[in-house]
Homo-oligomer: A and B are copies of this chain.
Amino acid sequence: MGYAQDDMEKANASHMREPLCDIAQCGLPLALEAMGERWSFMILRAAFNGVRHFEDFLEALGIARNILSNRLSRLVEAGILKREHCANDRRRIEYRLTPKGLDLLPAMLALRQWGEKWELGVPANPVMCDSRDGQPIATISIVAHDGRVLTPADLTWRELSELQADPAPAALRKVL
């Protein structure tokens, strides 16, 4: 039993889809390598909403069984989900977010907020709130080390070496 998954992996390995940008020392291509597939974020969203079992993902997402199987395996391989047999019912498998998976929440909420603002147009329901005071969370934004909110015009790229040599240079080129 179960050699088809191996075949699928072999097939992937034999002419492995070229990494999105293997030269760049940039986290974005690496993040997309793990999360760039069509269903990955939707599976993650379901996981954040407490979905843990194969059949429940299936129903929540309306995804094909084989694709779900493949995506869950990849997310487990990537260390974003962990796969565990249920103690009381050994047929059941629980997929749970790892710390690495939980750490994707800011990125996911930023995307969600963008979609709400620019595509949905109205506040989505339900609203993500702070459980301590019940208030909606703030918009995810880029902030400086001292907490000021930054816009694209306030940002610049600096070389690591330059940054270490001269922490606060006089003039910096703007990115945009």
Given A109-B142, A130-B145, A143-B137, A120-B30 contact (CB < 8 Å): yes
A32 CB–B CB distance under 8 Å: yes
Tell which of B111, B130, B175 touches A107, judged by Cβ atoms closer than 8 Å: B111
Question: Is A111 in contact with B42, judged by CB distance below 8 angstroms?
Answer: no
Collect the chain B residues with CB atoms within 8 Å of residue A86's CB: none
Q: C-beta contact mask, A87-126 vs B, less than 8 Å → 1, else 0?
A: 0000000000100101111111111111111111001111
Interface of A (DSSP majority class): mixed
Tell which of B143, B167, B176 touches A48, judged by Cβ atoms closer than 8 Å: B176
Collect the chain B residues with CB atoms within 8 Å of residue A21's CB: 42, 61-62
Collect the chain B residues with CB atoms within 8 Å of residue A109's CB: 142
In the bound complex, what is the Cα–Cα distance between A7 and B142 (angstroms)?
Answer: 41
Tell which of B26, B49, B116, B133 touches A115, judged by Cβ atoms closer than 8 Å: B26
Size class of the A contact interface (CB-based, 8 Å): 35 or more
Question: Is B169 in contact with A120, judged by CB distance below 8 angstroms?
Answer: no
Given A144-B137, A150-B130, A158-B126, A20-B35 contact (CB < 8 Å): no
Collect the chain B residues with CB atoms within 8 Å of residue A104's CB: 114
Q: C-beta contact mask, A73-88 vs B, less than 8 Å → 1, else 0?
A: 0000001000000000
